[in-house]
Structures are given as C-alpha cells and as structure tokens.
Structure 1
Amino acid sequence: MSVETICSTLTKLEKMHKSLLELAIKKTEIITAGDIEALDQMLKDEQAHVAAIDKLEQQRQKQVTDYLGAKGFASIDKATVADVIEVAEQQIEKDMLSAVRNRLLQIINDLKKQNDLNQKLVFQSLQFVNLTLGSLRPQNEQINYSGSEIRGTNKVAKKSFFDSQA
C-alpha cells in the first residue's frame, strides 16, 4: 500500500464531497422556492452521493489500516490520515497527504454550514405550515364531542325573538 493510493482515494472523496456541496447549494434554492418535487429528486441524488462517499470512505479506511500495518503499527480501531502523515517517511508524501486532507476538511466544513442553513430553512418552512394549519383549524373549545360547533359559550341563556308560549 502506498501513499499515492491513499491520496487518490482522498482526491475521489474530495470530488464527491464537492459535488455533494453543489447539490446542497441547489437544495437551498429549491427549499426557498418551495418546489417539493424537485426537493424529492434532490434527496434521491444526495442519497446516491452519500452511498458513493460511504463506499470510498470504507476503501480509504482499509487503505490507511493496511498502510499502517505494513509500517509495523498495531491495528488501530479508527486509523486516520493524520496517523499516516505522522508515519510517512518522505516529506513530499507528508505534504501531499496534508494538502489533500486539508482541502477535503475545508469542503466538509463548507458542506456542514450549507446543510445547517438548509435545516434551518426547512424548519422555518415547517413552522409556517404549522402556523397556517393552526389558523385554519377550529380551536378545541369550539368543538364538542360530536364534532359540531358550539354556537355560544355564554353562560346566560339566549333570548329568542319568538315567544314559545304565545
């Protein structure tokens, strides 16, 4: 296992995360436009990206573990690229890994910020929907058990215009 192989996988992860970030930015536009069908399709696209990223992440994890094992280090539960950077022999390998790792971390940070924004927008949309539905529904005090509306909540008996004894 070589550092170049790990760098290659990290570069693929970087591209996939960049693509996912672009989808998240488009999702922001879709959420603000309120296009539910487009949002549904966007979620499917995101799920495909996440599945591909997960596959690459498993590959990266195996490569890092194999590399560290080849260097004589005991199997670490969660081996990281930072561990590989520490044990890499040549400075050029360390620099190459550090550069790719830093770019990937920056994209992941940007993606996190964009997803937080999207989450807040969706939450606001749900609050608006709940507020609208709440204003359209009758209040609980106005409905009796049969579901018909109670005409008055006054304790005083209402006087009729007609006298029933006449």
Structure 2
Amino acid sequence: MSVEAICSTLTKLERMHKSLLELAFKKTEIIKSGNIEALDQMLKDEQAHVAAIDKLEQQRQIQVTDYLEAKGFASTDKMTVADVIEAAEQQTEKDTLSSVRNRLMLIIEDLRKQNDLNQKLVFQSLQFVNLTLDTLRPRPEQMNYSGSEVRGTNTVAKKSYFDSQA
C-alpha cells in the first residue's frame, strides 16, 4: 500500500465532508424557514453522504493498516493517518499527508460547529412548538366537570339543579 492511495482516499473524504458541510448550511436555512418537506429530503441526502463517508473511512482504515503492517508496525485497532505520517520515509509524503489530513480535520470541525448550530435551532423550534401547544391546550387541573375553567374558590353557594329531597 502506498501513501498516494491513502492521500487519494483522504482527498475523497475531504470532498465528501465539504459536500456534507454545504448540506449542513442549506439545512440551517431550511430549519429557519420551517419547511418540513425540504428538511425531510435534506435528511435523506445527508444519510446518503454519511453512508458514502463511512465506506471511504473503512477503505482508509484498511489502507492505513496495510501500509503500517508493510512497514513492520504491529497491528492495533486504532491505526491513524498520524501514524502513517510518522512512518513515512520521504518528507514530501509526510508533507502531503499532513496537508490533506489538516484540511480534512478543519472541514470536520466546521461541520461539527454547523451541526451544533442546527441542533440548537431544531431544539429551539421544538421549544416554540411546545410553548404554543401549552398555551392552546387547557390544563387538566384547571378544569371542572362542566369543562369550564375554575377561576378560584367561590364562596357563594351554587344553585343545584338536582333536588336531593324530592
């Protein structure tokens, strides 16, 4: 396995994450507009991107493991690109890997921030919906048997329509 193959996979991951970041920005606007149908479609698009990223990530893990094992490193569960950078013999390989890795990490950090913003916007929207429902829905403890609100304790004797002595 060569460093070029790992760089190629990292570049593909970078492109997919950029595309996912663009979707996250669009998702922010959709959340702000409250378009549920567009949000549903956006979630489907995001799921497709995440599935493609997962496949590329598995490919990257295999490539990194193969490269490091070929260099004589003991196989572990968490072999990373940083390990490949340390194991690379030529400085140009190290520089190329470091550059691609850093760009990918920056995009992932931007994506994380945008997703946090989207999550907060969705949570805020849900709070608004719940507040609206609470104001429209009567509270059970404020209802009497006739369905009208109880406005406090009434000390005046109420007229009864049922004559218990008859």
TM-score, length of structure 1 as denominator length: 0.91
Structure 1 distance, partners of 2:71, 2:105, is 25
Alpha carbons of structure 1 residues 74 and 154: separation in structure 2 relative to 1, 3 Å: same
For residues 126-159 of structure 1, what are the alpha-carbon distances to aligned partners after superposition, in whole Å with 9 as ceiling and x for unaligned?
A: 1100000000010122235x68345554241345
Paired residue for 1:92?
92
Superposed counterparts of 1:142-161, under 5 Å: 142-144=142-144, 148-149=147-148, 153-158=152-157
Q: Which residue of 2 aligns with 1:10?
A: 10
Which residue is 1:47 aligned to? Answer: 47
Structure 1 residue ranges without an equivalent (≥5): none
Aligned equivalents of 2:11, 2:21: Cα separation in 1:
15
Q: Distance in 1 between matches of 2:48 and 2:118?
A: 19
Aligned to 2:19: 19
Distance 1:120 1:46 in 2: 18
Instruction: For 1:115 and 1:88, locate their aligned partners in 2 and report how far apart those are by CA, in whole Å.
Output: 34
Contact 2:143 2:150 in 1 (8 A): no
Structure 2 unaligned residues grouped into runs of 5+: none
Deviation at 1:66, TM superposition (A): 0.4
CA distance in 2 between partners of 1:5 and 1:150 (Å): 72
Query: Cα RMSD over matched residues?
Result: 1.8
Q: Which residue of 2 aligns with 1:79?
A: 79
Equivalences, count: 160
Which SS does the other structure have where 1:76 is aligned?
A: coil
Amino acid in structure 2 at the alignment position of 1:39:
L
Q: AA paired with 1:47? A: Q
In 1: Cα distance, 2:105 partner to 2:138 partner: 51
TM-score, reference length from structure 2: 0.91
CA distance in 2 between partners of 1:129 and 1:51 (Å): 32
Instruction: Report the 3-state secondary structure (helix = DSSP H, G, I; strand = E; otherwise coil) of the residue aligned with 2:66.
Output: helix
- Spell out, residue by residue over 1:88-136, the C-alpha distance to the aligned partner (whole angstroms, 9 max, x if none): 0000000000000000000000000100110110011011000000000
SS of the counterpart of 1:156?
A: coil
Q: Deviation digits for residues 35-78 of structure 1, max 9, x if unmatched?
A: 00000000000000000000000000000000000000000211
% identical aligned pairs: 76
